[in-house]
Amino acid sequence: MSIPQWLPDARFYQIFPDRFHRCEGYGMLTEGHVPLDPWDAEPTRENFLGGNIAGITEKLDYIHDLGCNALYLNPIFSAATNHRYDANDYFKIDPLLGTLEDFHTLVDEAHKRNIRIVLDAVLNHCGKTHWMFQDVVKNEENSEYVNYFSVKNFPVKSLPVPNYKTCSGCEYLPKWNVFNPKVREHHFNVARYWIDQGIDGYRLDVPYFIYPEFWQDFRQVVKAKNSELCLIAEEWRDPAQWLQGDTTDSTMNYTLRDLVLGFTATKRFNAYDFVDGINRLQERIPYGYHHGMMNLLGSHDTERVLTAHQNNTEDCITAYYCMFACEGAPMIYYGDELGMVGDNDPGCRSGMQWDSLDANAEIFRTIVQLNALRRDHIALRRGTQSCYAVDEDTVIISREHKEESLLMIISRNNLVEYNSSKLPQQLQNHNWRIINGVTVGNSWRPNKDNSMIVLQAQQ
């Protein structure tokens, strides 16, 4: 089973639509939506800042110049909350975000820049404002949609404890009864509809809450439209179950995140622990899927990367070195490239700080540099991986491809210099030249204010 050909070459940028950019004159306030807060307001789980689809389109050149070529968008469907994981109609753009025409413009303009669009598929649950669920609330057992959900008894009650199945006990998120063939067909029609609008794939929200056979059928529906459409599962533990060729092409690589932050942020892992963890993860991922994994350090469900590193820019950058060096497609969560800070939800969901482009220019420059390295070097996109621990603070990640071989030497302390005699024996059969850093005599040194050396084997 092969993954989409473009996936190993992807450099993702994740956007939480309400908080990315507000383009004035697009989108509208509708009944049920609260007024917009100031853009710099403290993020809460209730407030709206008014980011919209036209705002994303307006910033496509920024995303392109950052070096990203794929967008993962948190939900855009009509909903009652700012996060929109509580859809009330899957076939409509939330009016606060804009119109279907606005979305078509975004897709067209993104594709002109060779940027792909991946949407969030939230099919385990909807919002209690969904019109089908509301029909059940109104008509109870006489509703034609009564078996679309799992209601214990009537009347439907949300509080103090819902008498219907929900997502993780959240009363405003009734769970779909996906065992109902009519629900499955609804979900498949949703998938087909947005593919017809021009998207390039789906990220699957909490897929582990739905039985696997559903996702096998879902894959067939999606791939029947286009085999190059990607399917990426949200997964926080073991990715292997999703990478057997019958469900998804990739998972969000939270396991890699845990390893990287354990090495660079909490320091609970030394280099030997980190390498051991990376090698065990690599063994768990079936052959053919390594290069399509969605690697991340931050998302809408985590604290921000700089916050995880207690505002230590140098350690934060070291984490990005590790992520970009490993097999898989890297993803940047909006604003992390600017050094934005924030604790987990809702703190990680503040308005994009567009007036602070120079606030942490070092992180921004690093991400531009790393995206360019991946763009320019096929070994980083498609090369096999080997990892070595040199000492407790230094790792070497080797990427081997038939067209080139690369080494990334990364230290969580100041990397002063390095030479070929310090390389593991397996790597001393190449004549290495430096492509990131400087050569001093017989030694290599990182560039100023840097803790990474990149070497390429001379052909």
Given the DSSP bridges, would you call strands 230-233 and 170-174 parallel, antiparallel or unpaired?
A: unpaired
* DSSP H stretches of helix in 118-172: 131-139
Angle among Cα 369, 286, 373 to the nearest 5 degrees reads 10
β 438-440/443-445 pair status: antiparallel
CB of 98 closer than 8 Å to CB of 52? yes
H-assigned helices in 36-113: 53-58, 60-66, 100-112
- Which residues, in sequence order, are CB contacts of 58 under 8 Å at separation 6+? 21, 23
Sheet hosting strand 394-401, strand order edge to edge: 384-391, 394-401, 404-411, 452-457, 432-436
Q: Backbone phi, then psi, for 34, in 5-degree steps? A: -75, 160
Instruction: Say if CB 146 and CB 132 are below 8 A apart.
Output: no
Sign of the torsion formed by the C-alpha atoms of 145, 146, 150 and 154: positive
**Largest separation between any pair of C-alpha atoms in the chain:** 83
Task: Give the catalytic positions in this structure.
Answer: 205, 234
Q: In whole angstroms, what separates CA 36 from the centre of its chain?
A: 27
448's CB contacts (< 8 A; 6+ apart) are none
> Measured between alpha carbons, how far is 84 from 75 in angstroms, rounded to an integer?
5
Q: Which structure tokens are listed for 71?
A: 């967008």
What SS3 class is residue 29? coil
Q: Which helix (H) or strand (E) holds 407?
A: strand 404-411
Amino acid (1-letter code) at residue 12: F
